Amino acid sequence: MNNPLMCDPETGSCEIPGLSEENETSLPKAVDKPLRAIYFTDPICSSCWGIEPQLRKLKMEYGALLEIEYHMGGLLPDWSYNSGGISKPADVAAHWDEVSLYYDMPIDGDVWLEDPLDSSYPPSIAFKAAQMQNPNKALLFLRRIKEMVFLEKKNIGKWEHLSAAAVETGLDPVKLDLDVKGRAKQYFQEDLQLAADWNIRGFPTLFFTDANGNQEKVYGVKPYPVYEAAISSLLPGAEVKKAAPDLRWESLLSVYPTITRKELSVIAGLSSEAAESVLENLVAENKLQLSLTKNGKIWKIKN
């Protein structure tokens, strides 16, 4: 597995060619909150879309104890390689369809047939520009551009889609454009350097660290208890202090206005069938609207 876009569902990761296992790394110490998670990701990493349910639950349960710090990893610089069974964008399409089924997260690989990306760098730099403008809205922006590329077959390397996502998430698109062309490039390069310094070989990678610099690494998409175990090893008793997720639909959709069946399943501890039933009932009650994709569904707050 040495092609960045040929993600491995077994390890739950998208790997960068030519890099070996991460070395033990000295990480920044957690500040403000007892724990910090240093998260390396990429806007077009399909495994990073697969980890969304776990991340969402972590924020809901451990948000008072844990700060998640996002760094872009640079999954696809360009198409100047031929490895891992992928040599052109069209080769990614069927793979994304397979990954969608594995993670039970809606992904439509046809973007690679209809309007393929040349690189993941433009949306990554746009995210850094969004962080400069408003860190909280930047996360909404990242979620939105992921939905665009994974569900709506939009090439998020194009400014028209990045600008639209900025408007939708309350960012100033004019300022975003200026920052994309300016300092955001530097901040993105700093993310790439950080990933190189820590020998990050793939995404998603999370380093959990405490105030003393102790660390636990979780590589790839793992079941939720694996992330909880990493937190508990650094902060004994954390499970007792965690918040119970508010499962009312208004609360579930108070941050992100969309939710998938798998996200509700992980957050609420429901089977996939039960989670879908809850969401369909909310559609029947005229509270949510359903959007269908080729490989799954996503529910949105009804406008």
How is 67-93 classified by DSSP, letter by letter? EEEEEE--S-S-S---BTTBSSTHHHH
Determine how many CB atoms are found less than 10 A away from the CB of residue 88.
10
Q: What's the Cα-to-Cα distance from 149 to each of 45, 162, 188, rounded to whole Å?
A: 10, 11, 20
Class of the CATH domain delimited by 29-203:
alpha beta
Q: Dihedral angle at the C-alpha atoms of 18, 96, 59, 61, nearest 10 degrees? A: -110
Residue 203: phi, psi to the nearest 5? Answer: -135, 150
User: Which residues does 76 contact at the CB level (< 8 Å), separation at least 6?
Assistant: 4, 5, 42, 44, 117, 119, 120, 121
Task: Collect the ranges in the chain with pLDDT lower than 70.
Answer: 1-6, 12, 16-31, 81-85
pLDDT at position 1 is 43
CA atoms of 118 and 237, how far apart (whole Å): 46
Are the beta carbons of 105 and 177 closer than 8 angstroms? Answer: no
User: What is the three-class DSSP state of 266?
Assistant: helix
CA atoms of 133 and 179, how far apart (whole Å): 9
pLDDT > 70: percent of the chain: 90
Tokens of 255: 């941050």
Q: For residue 214, with 0-12 CB atoms within 10 Å meaning exposed, 13-18 middle and 19 or more buried, which class applies?
A: middle
Residue type (1 letter), 194: L
pLDDT at position 14 is 76
pLDDT at position 86 is 72
Domain boundaries, given as residue ranges, for the chain? 29-203, 249-301
User: Which residues does 83 contact at the CB level (< 8 Å), separation at least 6?
Assistant: 2, 3, 17
Determine how many CB atoms are found less than 10 A away from the CB of residue 286.
8
CA atoms of 107 and 48, how far apart (whole Å): 12
CATH of segment(s) 249-301? 1.10.10.10
Q: Structure pTM?
A: 0.92
pLDDT at position 22 is 42
Are the beta carbons of 289 and 283 closer than 8 angstroms? Answer: yes
**Which residue in this structure is represented by tokens 């390396």?**
40
User: What is the three-class DSSP state of 210?
Assistant: strand
